[in-house]
Chains A and B, each alone.
With several copies, the nearest count.
Chain A
Amino acid sequence: MTAKLTNAQIAWRAAQDIPDGAYVNLGIGFPEMVAKFKPKGREVIYHTENGILDFGEAPPAGQEDWDLINAGKKAVTLNPGAAFFHHADSFAMVRGGHLDVAILGAYEVAENGDLANWSTGPGSVPAVGGAMDLVHGAKRVCVITDHTTKDGRPKLLKQCRLPLTGVGCVTTVYTSLAVVDIVNARFVLREKLPSISLDELQALTEATLAVEGTVKDLIVPEV
């Protein structure tokens, strides 16, 4: 088994690319971890679908106000300069292209930017939430994910097999092994762990990993 980044390290790597002053939506679950790794000195304003801009960390246990929650229904706090608004205004921010970055999880990403992250197919109760809006709204739509499934199958595919969340929407994928941009419907490898060869990485990736210029080392601290 190749050495790979932990989820926290993937989140750390994604956090480094969020520019100062950015408006950011972090998907429910794993993507929420990205907030922990905001570089010092950078101001990032977080948006949540249920109508808050500029919310902060979770309050101490016992001090929650359950009318002050994020899209994952977790209690949050407010930063100075926060704002409340209703759901239509919230999704005007999303759909209208006002968010700089959205970070989401994925079951599958295709080289043309298609994303599947909402349904593992028939049989269970389908639930889509705000993901289908987010993927067509933010200027950058980033995915953070393990490079492969638990049983080692590629998640970066030629075509998605699961029901799609959005078509041609993903711009960058941060995986446990690499950083991959999607440019003109191709995976372009930007960074990879120094411990893995390009051939090894390609073997874990269904679609071709294109290389343009230098592939940088993906260096992430212990976090």
Chain B
Amino acid sequence: MSKISPSVEEAVSHIQDGMVVMIGGFGGAGAPIELIHALVERYKKTGSPGRLIVVNNNAGNGAVGIAAMIYAGMVAKMVCSFPRSTDPKAFTDKYLAGEIELELVPQGTLAERIRAGGAGIPAFYTPTSFGTLVAEGKPVAEFDGRKYVQERWLKADVALIKAELADRKGNLTYHMAARNFSPLMATAAAATIVQASRIVEPGGIDPEHVVTPGIFVNRIVEVPNPKQEEALLREVTK
């Protein structure tokens, strides 16, 4: 049994039209650029996978990563908390033209919904967004005299995430704050595809330092010296 994939192209080859795709990262930190770009290239060559529903905290920046997916026309809907960035043109133009859908979710609720999806919790109550537009249409309940909004789990067909180390069994570590949503998304997707900067032998990660246990990981591809989205954008801007 091996979870190792020979290339980013192979790693993303099973993603199909209309799938829900969670993509790790907060801004540029943790964005799996090589996996995303392999997917964009596949779409440009074959017209598939299109009509994707993409889950990420943001909605792309500049013209790389998720923004490149949006420019390519393969994203039907974004589920995110903050569809703004230093250069949000890719999303903003399509959104204002009515060509892309937006589900706006408060950041903590987004994280918790993804965690719930991975943990088999179909619904939970949160104080967040009570009494606001974001809570419209959602059930409300009172506990101990305070009102809370019911939120549903969020699951995906696929998660694309970026790790620092991976072992053959799928155990992962992350680089600093590039961790963010990735450990959660890994739990909530039917198939979790990981690009890791380095693949080590089982035992190469201290069992106490594993952040994502291998049970949540399906495919791993080694991408040494991966591009960092923010660094890439600044390079382009120069």
Contact = CB atoms under 8 A, between A and B. Distances in A.
Contacts, number: 209
Contact of B128 (A68, A82, A88, A133): A133
B98 interface: no
Contacts of B127: 95, 136
Contact of B111 (A69, A80, A87, A98): A87
Interface string B36-51: 0000000000000000
Contacts of A50: 26-27, 29, 177, 180
A130 B231 contact: no
A18 to B, nearest CB: 12
B117 to A, nearest CB: 8
B183 interface: yes
B107 A133 contact: yes
Given A87-B180, A92-B187, A81 B106 contact: no
Interface stretch (A143-151, A158-166, A173-181, A196-204): A158-166
A48 B85 CA distance: 17
B208 interface: yes
A21 B214 CA distance: 11
Interface stretch (B4-12, B68-76, B88-96): B88-96
A53 interface: yes
Contact of A45 (B96, B187, B215): B215
B195 to A, nearest CB: 14
Central interface residue in A88, A95, A137, by most chain B CB within 10 Å: A88
B118 A92 contact: yes
A51 B82 CA distance: 16
Given A98-B215, A127-B82, A67 B228 contact: yes
A191 interface: no
B133 interface: yes
A166 B187 contact: no
Nearest to A70: B177
Contacts of A83: 171, 205, 207, 210, 213-214
8 contacts: A50-B29, A51-B26, A65-B176, A69-B177, A95-B121, A133-B108, A137-B120, A164-B131
